[in-house]
A and B are shown apart, each in its own frame.
Chain A
Amino acid sequence: MHANQFDGNAAFAGGGFMPSQTNQGGESSLTPSKNRESQTLLPLTIKQINHALQSSDDRTGLTIDGVGVNTVTLVGRVCNKSGQITEFKFVLDDGTGTIECTKWLHEPADAMAVESILNGMYVRLYGQLKGFQGKTLSIFSLRPVTDFNEIASHFIECIYVHLYNSRLQYTQASIPSQQHAPNSIQITPTKGYQAQAIPPNQFSGQHNNGQKSVQELVLEYLALPTIRCILKVVLFSFISLTPITYN
């Protein structure tokens, strides 16, 4: 490959949680959450949400790690569920905090889907923060967790996205000229990161001496069963702080 770059968007193209690259370059002085083009889906811990709510100015909309919070995804246990005909309410507990959640029941299919959700069950949900100071989560989609590796996977995703967005914030802050030129070339986070960090050639040199090369390690991981592969690639990429290639 021409350079050792980890293209996050290509690697996770199906996931949808990576912030749009086209808007990260010129947008940091605007309100990201109001911009229609940057509709993000962020995997978060409830602690991250509560922390952001405490330190936010309501008018500019909630941001976490410099990214506007639009839709969020959480995994946690259902507690204190209460149901009425039009809505299904409960408290979600993911071990880092609690948040009140509401799912509005518009159709009979919605009501049937939530009937099987019991207290103590682990669920995956997608929703938006609503209400005064965003204290309630309005749910679009809710389903029970069947493979409990999803819980560890979700938290690892939260760590990864936090790291990715934080690095993006850092590199944008270090390239002030590009921030104020919204019409300039789109900045990809990886390119920005490379410009500031140690050149990748230094890392690949270290890896090739007496150890398996990064490429060989990645190929090994790709041969593993799917869940472990995904988790290990994520862990490897930021534990080693080395961009990886997919060739």
Chain B
Amino acid sequence: MDPLSPAVIVNAELLPFYVGRRVRTVMQVVRSDVLAVIGKSPDEKQLIVKGSPPAPLTSFVEVIGIVNSDKSIKAELWTNFGDEIDMLSYHKLCQLANGEFKHLFL
């Protein structure tokens, strides 16, 4: 398994800034099929992740991949995060990690 760093922690509103770059985010799975998963980002917006998810998928899944457009990510790695993730805290972390404390992460 190869390292996938650096991967910026993002939510949906930050995707347009990182098109073509590797990012990571946690999303709540809404619908999944063989080619893509549609989910809710930490800031409650729709996110489309292309790729083959592992089966079974838990309610929350972390995705690391390359940003395709301002709404979709092409997944490189999926990790099941279980059924109880605090999305608000993750959303706040995204804002801090891309704002005032960016120098700690990138």
Which residues from chain A sit less than 8 Å from chain B, CB to CB? Answer: 45-48, 51, 77-80, 91, 93-98, 119-120, 122, 147-149, 152-153, 155-156, 158-159, 162-163, 227-228, 231-232, 235
Contact = CB atoms under 8 A, between A and B. Distances in A.
Contacts of B24: 95
B103 to A, nearest CB: 8
A148 B101 CA distance: 22
B97 interface: yes
Contacts of A80: 1-3
A232 B104 contact: no
11 contacts: A46-B5, A77-B3, A95-B4, A95-B5, A95-B8, A96-B106, A122-B79, A152-B93, A155-B93, A156-B89, A159-B96
B33 interface: no
Contacts of B88: 228
Contact of A156 (B4, B60, B93): B93
A149 B79 contact: no
Contacts of A94: 5
Contact of B86 (A78, A158, A228): A228
Given A45-B105, A96-B106, A155-B97, A228 B2 contact: no
Q: Which 4 A-B pairs have the closest CB atoms?
A: A119-B1, A93-B3, A148-B81, A231-B89
Interface in B65-106: 77, 79, 81-82, 84-86, 88-90, 92-93, 96-97, 101, 103-106
Interface in B15-67: 24, 26, 60, 62, 64
A155 B1 contact: no
A155 B60 contact: no
Contacts of A152: 86, 89-90, 93
Given A93-B4, A120-B79, A162-B101, 19 more contacts: A47-B105, A47-B106, A79-B1, A79-B3, A80-B2, A95-B8, A96-B5, A120-B1, A122-B79, A148-B82, A149-B89, A155-B9, A155-B93, A156-B89, A156-B93, A159-B104, A228-B88, A228-B89, A235-B89
Interface of B: 1-9, 24, 26, 60, 62, 64, 77, 79, 81-82, 84-86, 88-90, 92-93, 96-97, 101, 103-106
Contact of A97 (B6, B77, B89, B96): B6
A93 B82 CA distance: 20
Contacts of B97: 155, 159
B89 A98 contact: no
A156 B7 CA distance: 17
Contacts of B26: 148
A98 B6 CA distance: 8
B7 A95 contact: yes
A46 B7 CA distance: 12
Nearest to A230: B89
B85 A93 contact: no
Nearest to B88: A228
Nearest to B24: A95
A38 to B, nearest CB: 22
A92 to B, nearest CB: 8
